[in-house]
Amino acid sequence: MRLWYQSTLDFSEHRNYARSLAEHFRKIAGTGTEVILRGRATDGAGSLSAAEIIGSSIVYRSVVDPAFVRAVFEAEALSADAFIAASFSEPILPELRSLAVMPVVSMSEACFAAASASAPKIGLLTLNKDIVPYLEKSISLHKWKNRVSGIHLIEGGISETELDAHYAHPSPFLDRLTRGVRTAATAGAQAVIVAEGVLGMMAAANGLTDVDGIPVIDAIAATVLFARFLVDMKVSTGLMQSRAAYPLPSAAARRLLAVRAAGS
C-alpha cells in the first residue's frame, strides 16, 4: 500500500519536523505500507512564512490550493493508493475529492473520527488565531458543532518555525500543551485533538498521549491509519468517495487541469 502524505509546509524550513514524521511513519504505518512525505515545494512563495500564508485567505488560496491540485496528479503518477491532505486547514477538500481517482483523506476528519470514538465531547488545541477560521469551517463542513466543546489557543503565540528550531528541547512546549489540555477539559473536553502538525508530532514523539485522563489524539497516526482503512475498504468492498457528492471532471477537463497544475 502506498499513501501520499501532503503537507502545506515547506520542509526545507522544517527539517526536524520532516525527520520526525518519517520516523513516526516507520513506527505506525505497518509492514507493506509506504508513506510518501511531501511538503509544499519552495517556489515564488518560498520567502513567505507559514504564518503569512495561513493568515491571509487570498495568499493561502493562491499558494496552497494549486500545490495540492498538482500533488494529486503527482500522487496518481506514482500509483498512490490514497492521498492524505495533511493539514488542519483542510485545503479544497471537496474539490480534491472530485479530482482524485483514489480516496482523499482529511486530517481533520480522520482525527475527529478517532477522537469521537474515544469521547462524546472533543476539544481542539491550536497555536494561533489564524487557524481558528479554518477549524470553524471544518466543524461546519463535517457537522461536528454538537461534539466540539471549544477551540483553544496554546499560550505564548508559538510558531511552527519556533517549534522546529527547538524540536530537540520539547519540554517547555509540552508543558504549554499540557496546560492547554487542562484548559480544554475545564471547558468540557473529554478528549483533545492537537490541531497543528508540528506540535502534535512533538507530543506523539515524546509520548504525551494523556493528560489527567484526557486522551491526546495522535493526529499523524490517526490520519495514516484512517487512510489505510479507506484503502482496505476500497479493495475489499469498492468503497470510494461518492460521485454524486464529488463528480469527476470530464477527461478533457482533467487533462487541462493537469497541464495547468504542471505549469503552476
For 144-199, the pLDDT digits (tens) are 999 999 999 998 878 888 999 999 999 999 999 999 999 999 999 999 999 999 99
Contact 41, 67 (CB under 8 A): yes
**Using an 8 Å Cβ cutoff, are 13 and 19 in contact?**
no
Q: Which H helix or E strand runs over 36?
A: strand 34-38
> pLDDT of 24-59, one tens digit each?
999 999 889 999 999 987 555 556 777 788 888 899
User: What CA–CA distance (Å, rounded) separates 147 from 180?
Assistant: 18
What is residue 193's three-state secondary structure?
Answer: strand
Provide the whole-model pTM: 0.94
CA distances from 86 to 83, 109, 222, 223 (A): 9, 11, 11, 8
Give the domains, in start order, of the chain with CATH numbers.
Answer: 2-107+221-263 (3.40.50.1860), 109-219 (3.40.50.12500)
Of the pLDDT bands very low, low, confident and very high (cuts 50, 70, 90), residue 87 is very high
106 phi, psi to nearest 5 deg: -95, 130
Decide if 144 contacts 138 (C-beta within 8 A). Answer: yes
Q: Which residue has the cell 477537463?
A: 253
Q: How high does pLDDT run on average in the chain?
A: 93
| Region of poorest pLDDT, from 3-12, 36-45, 114-123, 207-216 | 36-45
